[in-house]
Structure 1
Amino acid sequence: MEKEATFSSTGLLQVPFGHVIGSEKWRGSQLAQEMQGKIKLIFEEGLAPVDFHLSNRFCILYITEADLVAGNNYKKRIVQLRNASNLQGIIIVEKTQMSEQYFTTVQKFVVLELGMTLLPVSNQMEASQLIIQLVHEQTKERNRNPFLKKKSCQLCESSVLQTVQQIPGVGKVMALLLLQEFPSIQKLSNASIQELERVVGHTLAEKMHTFFTQIR
Protein backbone atom coordinates (compact mmCIF):
# COMPACT_ATOMS: atom_id res chain seq x y z
CA MET A 1 0.00 0.00 0.00
CA GLU A 2 1.38 3.40 -1.01
CA LYS A 3 2.26 5.85 1.73
CA GLU A 4 0.62 9.23 1.40
CA ALA A 5 2.56 12.48 1.31
CA THR A 6 1.34 15.09 3.76
CA PHE A 7 1.87 18.81 4.25
CA SER A 8 3.18 20.35 7.46
CA SER A 9 1.78 23.49 9.08
CA THR A 10 4.42 25.48 7.17
CA GLY A 11 3.15 24.19 3.84
CA LEU A 12 6.17 21.97 3.18
CA LEU A 13 5.55 18.59 1.60
CA GLN A 14 6.45 15.81 4.04
CA VAL A 15 8.31 13.11 2.13
CA PRO A 16 8.49 9.72 3.91
CA PHE A 17 12.09 8.68 4.56
CA GLY A 18 13.45 6.48 1.78
CA HIS A 19 10.78 7.60 -0.70
CA VAL A 20 10.60 9.88 -3.74
CA ILE A 21 7.35 11.65 -4.53
CA GLY A 22 6.71 12.10 -8.23
CA SER A 23 4.15 14.15 -10.09
CA GLU A 24 1.20 12.04 -11.28
CA LYS A 25 2.03 12.97 -14.89
CA TRP A 26 5.10 10.69 -14.74
CA ARG A 27 3.15 7.55 -13.81
CA GLY A 28 3.80 4.88 -16.45
CA SER A 29 6.69 6.80 -18.04
CA GLN A 30 10.04 5.21 -18.84
CA LEU A 31 11.62 7.43 -16.17
CA ALA A 32 9.28 6.11 -13.48
CA GLN A 33 9.61 2.51 -14.65
CA GLU A 34 13.41 2.72 -14.45
CA MET A 35 13.20 3.97 -10.85
CA GLN A 36 10.60 1.48 -9.63
CA GLY A 37 12.16 -1.34 -7.66
CA LYS A 38 15.36 0.66 -7.04
CA ILE A 39 13.78 3.38 -4.90
CA LYS A 40 10.35 3.75 -3.34
CA LEU A 41 8.42 5.97 -5.74
CA ILE A 42 4.93 7.26 -5.01
CA PHE A 43 2.81 9.68 -7.03
CA GLU A 44 0.87 12.77 -6.04
CA GLU A 45 -1.26 15.33 -7.84
CA GLY A 46 -0.58 19.06 -7.64
CA LEU A 47 3.21 19.10 -7.36
CA ALA A 48 3.72 21.66 -10.15
CA PRO A 49 6.17 23.08 -11.01
CA VAL A 50 8.16 20.28 -9.36
CA ASP A 51 8.41 16.84 -10.99
CA PHE A 52 10.06 14.89 -8.15
CA HIS A 53 10.53 15.60 -4.43
CA LEU A 54 13.55 13.80 -2.96
CA SER A 55 13.02 15.31 0.50
CA ASN A 56 10.89 17.99 2.14
CA ARG A 57 12.95 20.74 0.52
CA PHE A 58 15.03 19.13 -2.22
CA CYS A 59 13.40 18.57 -5.61
CA ILE A 60 13.88 17.95 -9.32
CA LEU A 61 12.39 19.86 -12.24
CA TYR A 62 12.66 17.83 -15.45
CA ILE A 63 12.72 19.46 -18.90
CA THR A 64 12.13 17.02 -21.73
CA GLU A 65 13.26 17.20 -25.32
CA ALA A 66 9.67 18.05 -26.26
CA ASP A 67 9.60 20.91 -23.72
CA LEU A 68 12.68 22.50 -25.30
CA VAL A 69 11.46 22.13 -28.87
CA ALA A 70 8.01 23.52 -27.98
CA GLY A 71 9.35 26.95 -26.97
CA ASN A 72 10.09 28.88 -23.80
CA ASN A 73 7.14 27.83 -21.62
CA TYR A 74 9.48 25.73 -19.50
CA LYS A 75 11.06 28.97 -18.23
CA LYS A 76 7.92 29.82 -16.25
CA ARG A 77 8.22 26.58 -14.30
CA ILE A 78 11.90 27.21 -13.56
CA VAL A 79 11.19 30.75 -12.32
CA GLN A 80 8.37 29.41 -10.10
CA LEU A 81 10.80 26.96 -8.53
CA ARG A 82 13.50 29.63 -8.18
CA ASN A 83 11.02 31.89 -6.37
CA ALA A 84 9.91 29.14 -3.96
CA SER A 85 12.05 30.13 -0.98
CA ASN A 86 11.33 26.87 0.84
CA LEU A 87 12.64 24.65 -1.98
CA GLN A 88 16.08 23.83 -3.35
CA GLY A 89 16.00 22.39 -6.84
CA ILE A 90 18.04 20.89 -9.63
CA ILE A 91 17.05 21.30 -13.26
CA ILE A 92 17.52 18.14 -15.34
CA VAL A 93 17.43 18.72 -19.11
CA GLU A 94 17.27 16.22 -21.95
CA LYS A 95 20.15 17.12 -24.27
CA THR A 96 19.58 15.06 -27.40
CA GLN A 97 20.44 15.41 -31.07
CA MET A 98 17.10 17.13 -31.60
CA SER A 99 17.24 19.45 -28.59
CA GLU A 100 20.98 20.25 -28.59
CA GLN A 101 20.46 23.50 -30.54
CA TYR A 102 18.26 24.80 -27.68
CA PHE A 103 20.56 23.66 -24.87
CA THR A 104 22.81 26.74 -24.78
CA THR A 105 19.75 28.95 -24.25
CA VAL A 106 18.46 26.95 -21.30
CA GLN A 107 21.97 26.62 -19.88
CA LYS A 108 22.44 30.40 -19.97
CA PHE A 109 19.03 30.98 -18.39
CA VAL A 110 19.34 28.41 -15.59
CA VAL A 111 23.02 28.69 -14.68
CA LEU A 112 24.05 32.26 -15.47
CA GLU A 113 20.82 34.24 -15.07
CA LEU A 114 19.22 32.32 -12.18
CA GLY A 115 22.28 30.75 -10.56
CA MET A 116 20.65 27.32 -10.37
CA THR A 117 22.11 23.87 -10.96
CA LEU A 118 21.55 22.26 -14.36
CA LEU A 119 22.43 18.68 -15.27
CA PRO A 120 22.08 17.38 -18.87
CA VAL A 121 20.98 13.82 -19.60
CA SER A 122 20.65 12.04 -22.92
CA ASN A 123 17.46 10.14 -22.06
CA GLN A 124 15.09 9.16 -19.25
CA MET A 125 17.11 6.07 -18.37
CA GLU A 126 20.16 8.23 -17.65
CA ALA A 127 17.94 10.64 -15.69
CA SER A 128 16.62 7.81 -13.53
CA GLN A 129 20.17 6.76 -12.66
CA LEU A 130 21.01 10.32 -11.68
CA ILE A 131 17.94 10.66 -9.44
CA ILE A 132 18.64 7.27 -7.81
CA GLN A 133 22.21 8.40 -7.11
CA LEU A 134 20.97 11.58 -5.43
CA VAL A 135 18.49 9.59 -3.33
CA HIS A 136 21.22 7.20 -2.21
CA GLU A 137 23.46 10.13 -1.23
CA GLN A 138 20.64 11.55 0.85
CA THR A 139 20.05 8.18 2.53
CA LYS A 140 23.77 7.84 3.38
CA GLU A 141 23.76 11.26 5.03
CA ARG A 142 20.69 10.45 7.13
CA ASN A 143 22.10 7.07 8.17
CA ARG A 144 25.38 8.72 9.16
CA ASN A 145 23.61 11.26 11.39
CA PRO A 146 19.83 10.99 11.78
CA PHE A 147 19.72 14.40 13.49
CA LEU A 148 21.46 16.23 10.61
CA LYS A 149 19.30 19.15 9.51
CA LYS A 150 20.88 20.25 6.23
CA LYS A 151 20.72 17.13 4.08
CA SER A 152 19.38 18.98 1.05
CA CYS A 153 22.45 21.25 1.03
CA GLN A 154 24.65 18.17 0.84
CA LEU A 155 22.73 17.05 -2.23
CA CYS A 156 22.96 20.47 -3.85
CA GLU A 157 26.71 20.54 -3.31
CA SER A 158 27.00 17.21 -5.13
CA SER A 159 24.91 18.51 -8.02
CA VAL A 160 26.88 21.75 -8.31
CA LEU A 161 30.04 19.64 -8.51
CA GLN A 162 28.54 17.66 -11.39
CA THR A 163 27.52 20.89 -13.12
CA VAL A 164 31.07 22.29 -12.97
CA GLN A 165 32.35 19.04 -14.49
CA GLN A 166 30.27 19.82 -17.59
CA ILE A 167 32.75 22.62 -18.41
CA PRO A 168 35.16 21.42 -21.15
CA GLY A 169 38.49 20.31 -19.72
CA VAL A 170 37.32 20.21 -16.09
CA GLY A 171 37.37 16.88 -14.25
CA LYS A 172 36.29 16.06 -10.71
CA VAL A 173 39.52 17.12 -8.98
CA MET A 174 39.68 20.41 -10.88
CA ALA A 175 35.98 21.01 -10.18
CA LEU A 176 36.59 20.59 -6.44
CA LEU A 177 39.49 23.06 -6.56
CA LEU A 178 37.38 25.58 -8.47
CA LEU A 179 34.50 25.34 -6.00
CA GLN A 180 36.86 25.93 -3.10
CA GLU A 181 37.81 29.25 -4.73
CA PHE A 182 34.44 30.09 -6.31
CA PRO A 183 31.63 28.67 -4.12
CA SER A 184 28.80 29.25 -6.60
CA ILE A 185 28.21 28.79 -10.34
CA GLN A 186 27.55 32.52 -10.75
CA LYS A 187 30.85 33.52 -9.11
CA LEU A 188 32.71 30.97 -11.22
CA SER A 189 31.12 32.12 -14.49
CA ASN A 190 31.89 35.78 -13.70
CA ALA A 191 35.54 35.16 -12.80
CA SER A 192 38.23 36.81 -14.89
CA ILE A 193 40.97 34.90 -16.70
CA GLN A 194 43.44 36.12 -14.09
CA GLU A 195 41.26 34.81 -11.25
CA LEU A 196 40.72 31.46 -12.96
CA GLU A 197 44.36 30.88 -13.86
CA ARG A 198 45.35 30.98 -10.18
CA VAL A 199 43.46 27.68 -9.88
CA VAL A 200 43.65 25.98 -13.28
CA GLY A 201 46.54 27.62 -15.14
CA HIS A 202 46.49 30.06 -18.05
CA THR A 203 45.52 27.70 -20.90
CA LEU A 204 42.47 26.18 -19.23
CA ALA A 205 41.52 29.56 -17.76
CA GLU A 206 41.28 31.02 -21.27
CA LYS A 207 39.20 28.07 -22.48
CA MET A 208 36.83 28.38 -19.50
CA HIS A 209 36.48 32.13 -19.95
CA THR A 210 35.67 31.63 -23.64
CA PHE A 211 33.11 28.95 -22.73
CA PHE A 212 31.30 31.23 -20.27
CA THR A 213 31.42 34.15 -22.71
CA GLN A 214 29.80 32.07 -25.45
CA ILE A 215 26.81 31.06 -23.32
CA ARG A 216 26.16 34.55 -21.94
Structure 2
Amino acid sequence: MDRNPPEGTGPVHVPLGHVVANEKWRGSQLAQGMQGKVKLVFEDGLAPVDFYLSVRSCILYITEADLVAGNSYRKRLVRVRNSSNLQGIAIVEKTPTSEQYFPAIQKFTVLDLGMVLLPVASQMEASCIIIQLVQEQTKEPSKNPFLRKKQAQLSEPFLLRTVQQIPGVGKIKASLLLQKFPSIQQLSNASIQELEQVVGPAAAQQIHVFFTQSR
Protein backbone atom coordinates (compact mmCIF):
# COMPACT_ATOMS: atom_id res chain seq x y z
CA MET A 1 0.00 0.00 0.00
CA ASP A 2 1.38 3.40 -0.95
CA ARG A 3 2.22 5.80 1.82
CA ASN A 4 0.35 9.08 1.66
CA PRO A 5 2.17 12.31 2.44
CA PRO A 6 1.10 13.59 5.86
CA GLU A 7 -0.30 17.08 6.20
CA GLY A 8 2.48 19.63 5.87
CA THR A 9 4.69 17.45 3.68
CA GLY A 10 3.07 18.08 0.32
CA PRO A 11 5.06 19.21 -2.71
CA VAL A 12 6.81 22.58 -2.35
CA HIS A 13 8.16 24.41 -5.40
CA VAL A 14 11.91 24.99 -4.95
CA PRO A 15 13.74 26.82 -7.77
CA LEU A 16 17.20 25.44 -8.57
CA GLY A 17 19.84 26.94 -6.30
CA HIS A 18 17.25 28.05 -3.75
CA VAL A 19 16.34 26.87 -0.27
CA VAL A 20 12.78 27.25 0.94
CA ALA A 21 12.98 27.86 4.69
CA ASN A 22 10.41 27.70 7.44
CA GLU A 23 9.49 31.24 8.48
CA LYS A 24 10.61 30.51 12.06
CA TRP A 25 14.26 30.56 10.89
CA ARG A 26 14.13 34.14 9.57
CA GLY A 27 16.88 36.17 11.24
CA SER A 28 18.51 33.11 12.80
CA GLN A 29 22.24 32.41 12.77
CA LEU A 30 21.50 29.43 10.55
CA ALA A 31 19.77 31.58 7.93
CA GLN A 32 22.44 34.28 8.17
CA GLY A 33 25.12 31.66 7.50
CA MET A 34 23.46 30.82 4.19
CA GLN A 35 22.88 34.39 3.03
CA GLY A 36 24.93 35.21 -0.04
CA LYS A 37 25.73 31.53 -0.66
CA VAL A 38 22.24 30.33 -1.61
CA LYS A 39 18.96 32.11 -2.26
CA LEU A 40 16.61 31.78 0.70
CA VAL A 41 12.85 31.98 0.43
CA PHE A 42 10.85 31.99 3.67
CA GLU A 43 7.39 30.49 3.87
CA ASP A 44 4.84 29.70 6.58
CA GLY A 45 3.19 26.32 6.96
CA LEU A 46 6.19 24.09 6.19
CA ALA A 47 6.03 22.10 9.45
CA PRO A 48 7.39 19.56 10.20
CA VAL A 49 10.09 20.48 7.63
CA ASP A 50 12.60 23.25 8.36
CA PHE A 51 14.27 23.56 4.95
CA TYR A 52 13.37 22.27 1.50
CA LEU A 53 16.32 21.75 -0.85
CA SER A 54 14.14 20.45 -3.67
CA VAL A 55 10.63 19.15 -4.16
CA ARG A 56 11.80 15.78 -2.80
CA SER A 57 14.59 16.53 -0.32
CA CYS A 58 14.36 18.36 2.96
CA ILE A 59 16.12 19.11 6.23
CA LEU A 60 14.74 18.62 9.72
CA TYR A 61 16.79 20.62 12.19
CA ILE A 62 16.82 19.39 15.79
CA THR A 63 18.18 22.00 18.19
CA GLU A 64 19.90 21.55 21.51
CA ALA A 65 16.69 22.75 23.18
CA ASP A 66 14.63 20.17 21.26
CA LEU A 67 16.81 17.35 22.59
CA VAL A 68 16.79 18.56 26.18
CA ALA A 69 13.01 19.10 26.11
CA GLY A 70 12.20 15.45 25.41
CA ASN A 71 11.14 13.23 22.52
CA SER A 72 8.73 15.53 20.70
CA TYR A 73 11.15 15.63 17.76
CA ARG A 74 10.25 12.01 17.01
CA LYS A 75 6.83 12.92 15.63
CA ARG A 76 8.43 15.28 13.12
CA LEU A 77 10.93 12.67 11.96
CA VAL A 78 8.27 9.99 11.62
CA ARG A 79 5.98 12.27 9.59
CA VAL A 80 8.71 12.89 7.04
CA ARG A 81 9.89 9.28 7.05
CA ASN A 82 6.33 8.12 6.34
CA SER A 83 5.94 10.52 3.46
CA SER A 84 6.26 8.80 0.10
CA ASN A 85 7.44 11.96 -1.63
CA LEU A 86 10.25 13.17 0.66
CA GLN A 87 13.86 12.29 1.39
CA GLY A 88 14.63 13.74 4.80
CA ILE A 89 17.98 14.45 6.44
CA ALA A 90 18.13 15.15 10.17
CA ILE A 91 20.68 17.74 11.31
CA VAL A 92 21.12 17.57 15.08
CA GLU A 93 22.89 19.95 17.45
CA LYS A 94 25.38 17.89 19.46
CA THR A 95 26.73 20.16 22.18
CA PRO A 96 28.10 19.61 25.70
CA THR A 97 24.56 20.26 26.97
CA SER A 98 22.76 17.92 24.55
CA GLU A 99 25.44 15.23 24.21
CA GLN A 100 23.83 12.92 26.78
CA TYR A 101 20.61 12.91 24.73
CA PHE A 102 22.34 12.34 21.39
CA PRO A 103 22.59 8.50 21.45
CA ALA A 104 18.79 8.23 21.76
CA ILE A 105 18.05 10.37 18.70
CA GLN A 106 20.89 8.73 16.77
CA LYS A 107 19.47 5.26 17.38
CA PHE A 108 15.91 6.33 16.63
CA THR A 109 16.77 8.21 13.44
CA VAL A 110 19.41 5.91 11.97
CA LEU A 111 18.34 2.48 13.21
CA ASP A 112 14.56 2.72 13.54
CA LEU A 113 13.82 5.09 10.67
CA GLY A 114 16.81 4.45 8.38
CA MET A 115 17.36 8.18 7.84
CA VAL A 116 20.60 10.10 7.52
CA LEU A 117 21.62 11.99 10.68
CA LEU A 118 24.34 14.62 10.79
CA PRO A 119 25.60 16.02 14.13
CA VAL A 120 26.67 19.66 14.19
CA ALA A 121 28.20 21.80 16.91
CA SER A 122 26.46 25.01 15.84
CA GLN A 123 24.01 26.57 13.43
CA MET A 124 26.92 27.99 11.43
CA GLU A 125 28.24 24.48 10.83
CA ALA A 126 24.74 23.40 9.79
CA SER A 127 24.54 26.26 7.28
CA CYS A 128 27.75 25.00 5.63
CA ILE A 129 26.24 21.52 5.28
CA ILE A 130 23.05 22.86 3.71
CA ILE A 131 25.06 25.00 1.28
CA GLN A 132 27.08 21.92 0.31
CA LEU A 133 23.89 19.96 -0.33
CA VAL A 134 22.51 22.71 -2.55
CA GLN A 135 25.79 22.94 -4.47
CA GLU A 136 25.74 19.18 -5.06
CA GLN A 137 22.23 19.50 -6.41
CA THR A 138 23.07 22.31 -8.83
CA LYS A 139 26.09 20.58 -10.40
CA GLU A 140 25.72 19.98 -14.12
CA PRO A 141 24.39 16.42 -14.53
CA SER A 142 26.57 13.84 -16.24
CA LYS A 143 25.61 12.50 -19.67
CA ASN A 144 26.18 9.03 -18.29
CA PRO A 145 22.74 7.87 -17.05
CA PHE A 146 24.27 5.69 -14.34
CA LEU A 147 26.33 8.57 -12.95
CA ARG A 148 23.32 10.85 -13.25
CA LYS A 149 21.32 8.48 -11.08
CA LYS A 150 24.13 8.45 -8.55
CA GLN A 151 24.33 12.24 -8.46
CA ALA A 152 20.62 12.41 -7.73
CA GLN A 153 21.20 10.83 -4.33
CA LEU A 154 21.80 14.08 -2.45
CA SER A 155 22.28 12.38 0.89
CA GLU A 156 24.95 9.94 -0.32
CA PRO A 157 28.02 11.71 1.13
CA PHE A 158 26.11 12.34 4.33
CA LEU A 159 25.00 8.73 4.57
CA LEU A 160 28.73 7.96 4.47
CA ARG A 161 29.25 10.27 7.45
CA THR A 162 26.39 8.56 9.29
CA VAL A 163 27.96 5.11 8.87
CA GLN A 164 31.33 6.50 10.01
CA GLN A 165 29.77 7.18 13.42
CA ILE A 166 29.61 3.42 14.08
CA PRO A 167 32.49 2.42 16.39
CA GLY A 168 35.40 0.90 14.50
CA VAL A 169 34.26 2.19 11.11
CA GLY A 170 36.32 4.86 9.37
CA LYS A 171 35.83 6.50 6.00
CA ILE A 172 37.28 3.62 3.95
CA LYS A 173 35.30 0.92 5.72
CA ALA A 174 32.13 3.02 5.57
CA SER A 175 32.55 3.40 1.83
CA LEU A 176 33.09 -0.34 1.37
CA LEU A 177 30.06 -1.14 3.51
CA LEU A 178 27.78 1.16 1.54
CA GLN A 179 28.90 -0.41 -1.72
CA LYS A 180 27.68 -3.75 -0.38
CA PHE A 181 24.79 -2.50 1.76
CA PRO A 182 23.48 0.76 0.22
CA SER A 183 21.05 1.63 3.02
CA ILE A 184 21.06 1.72 6.80
CA GLN A 185 18.33 -0.93 6.89
CA GLN A 186 20.38 -3.38 4.79
CA LEU A 187 23.50 -2.71 6.84
CA SER A 188 21.72 -3.23 10.16
CA ASN A 189 20.24 -6.53 8.92
CA ALA A 190 23.54 -7.91 7.63
CA SER A 191 24.93 -11.01 9.33
CA ILE A 192 28.39 -11.12 10.90
CA GLN A 193 29.51 -13.41 8.08
CA GLU A 194 28.35 -10.92 5.44
CA LEU A 195 30.06 -8.06 7.26
CA GLU A 196 33.29 -10.02 7.64
CA GLN A 197 33.55 -10.36 3.86
CA VAL A 198 33.69 -6.56 3.62
CA VAL A 199 35.56 -5.29 6.70
CA GLY A 200 37.05 -8.34 8.44
CA PRO A 201 36.15 -10.13 11.70
CA ALA A 202 37.00 -7.43 14.26
CA ALA A 203 35.08 -4.58 12.61
CA ALA A 204 32.22 -6.93 11.69
CA GLN A 205 31.78 -7.85 15.35
CA GLN A 206 31.74 -4.18 16.41
CA ILE A 207 29.16 -3.29 13.77
CA HIS A 208 26.97 -6.25 14.70
CA VAL A 209 27.14 -5.34 18.40
CA PHE A 210 26.31 -1.70 17.63
CA PHE A 211 23.11 -2.59 15.80
CA THR A 212 21.94 -5.44 18.02
CA GLN A 213 22.58 -3.63 21.32
CA SER A 214 20.92 -0.48 20.00
CA ARG A 215 17.74 -2.43 19.43
**So what's the TM-score if we normalise by structure 1?**
0.87
In structure 2, give the amino acid aligned to 1:49.
P
Q: Is the 8 A contact 1:107 1:215 kept in 2?
A: no
User: Does the 8 Å contact 1:88/1:152 carry over to 2?
Assistant: no
Residue 191 of structure 2 is aligned to residue 192 of structure 1:
yes
Contact 2:141 2:151 in 1 (8 A): no
**What's 1:116 paired with?**
115
Larger relative contact order (C-alpha < 8 A, sep ≥ 6)?
Answer: 2
The within-5 A match list for 1:140-151 is: 140=139, 143-144=140-141
Q: Is the 8 A contact 1:23 1:43 kept in 2?
A: yes
Identity of aligned residues (%): 70
Secondary structure at the aligned position of 2:212 is classed as helix
Residue identity matched to 2:38 = I
Post-superposition shift, 1:119? 1.1
* Aligned residue pair count: 203
Aligned ranges 1:45-194 → 2 under 5 Å? 45-140=44-139, 143-144=140-141, 153-194=152-193
| SS of structure 2 residue aligned to 1:13 | coil
Report if aligned partners of 1:105, 1:215 keep a CA contact under 8 Å in 2: no
Deviation at 1:169, TM superposition (A): 3.0
Q: Give 3-state SS (helix, strand or coil) of 1:14's partner.
A: coil
CA displacement 1:62-112 (0-9 Å, x = unmatched)? 000100100111111111111221111101111111111111111111111
Q: Does 1:206 align with 2:177?
A: no
CA distance in 2, matches of 1:144, 1:113: 33
CA–CA distance in structure 1, aligned partners of residues 87 and 151 of structure 2:
7
* Paired residues of 1:65 and 1:98 also in contact (CA < 8 A): yes
Corresponding residue SS for 1:159: helix
After TM superposition, the score normalised by the length of structure 2 is: 0.87
- 1:138 touches 1:151 (CA, 8 Å); kept in 2? no
